[in-house]
Amino acid sequence: MSNSMNETMRDRTEESLVDEAKRGSLDAFTELVRRTQERIYAVIFGMTRNHQDADDLMQETFLAAYRALPRFGGRSSFSTWAYRIAFNMTLNHLKRKGREKGRASLDENAALSDAAGGVLPSPEGESIRAEVREKIDAAIAALPPIYRAAFTLVALQGMSHGEAAAILGCAENTVSWRMHKSRKMLQERLKGEI
């Protein structure tokens, strides 16, 4: 894609890109992917805790979105629709896999990575930070998938309860309840740990 074509696509609205992609424009679809891939990857990784699985599921998500694009009705934004596809694929993956086996630490930019906030930047402090992140990561990974999904979207991705509800396909009150339960489960699991 040429630079001028790239700039033109970047200036387009999501709706116009969707319309063009539905008419067969690969450039338009590529721009839609570019706009959503980073956050979708973060959501998938937040649920799987495994980079390889997140890479594979993100590819599958966008392939499924491309194939289903002609049926996209526009009742939500493309990004919400793509999040929903990613969530369903990831949930199915977790069900097939049972409990995920590989665990990676929380991304440095995740909201909870600063849980050890008062620790000084020293080798000992870094060791304590890493240990705290590991415990938090394990506690999040142990949440049941529906609670982990809500927690990932709201606490780690910074979405509102309404945005998370649209992606999860449930009521906003359900997301609020899942967040409440997630926090309780995390507090219980982390009690005396950090």
CATH of residue 35: 1.10.1740.10
Digitized pLDDT (tens) for each residue of the chain, 194 residues in all: 445 555 687 889 999 999 999 999 999 999 999 999 999 999 899 888 889 999 999 999 999 999 999 999 888 899 999 999 999 999 889 888 764 343 333 333 343 444 444 444 566 667 777 787 888 888 888 899 889 999 989 988 888 999 999 999 899 999 999 999 999 999 998 887 76
161 residue type, one letter: H
Q: Could you give the CA distance from residue 25 to residue 1 in angstroms, rounded to a whole number?
A: 12
Cα end-to-end span (Å), the chain:
50
The structural domain count of the chain equals 2
Helix and strand counts by DSSP (H, E) for the chain: 9, 0
- Give the pLDDT confidence of 4-54 residue by residue, as tens digits: 555 687 889 999 999 999 999 999 999 999 999 999 999 899 888 889 999
Q: Which domain holds residue 137?
A: 111-190
Q: What pTM did the predictor assign?
A: 0.68
DSSP 47-83: HH--HHHHHHHHHHHHHHHHHHGGG---SS-HHHHHH
Residues 160 and 130 grouped into a single domain = yes
Nearest one of 50, 45, 47 to 142, comparing CA atoms: 47
Could you tell me if residue 88 is inside a domain?
Answer: yes
Residues 9 and 82 grouped into a single domain = yes
Could you tell me if residue 17 is inside a domain?
Answer: yes
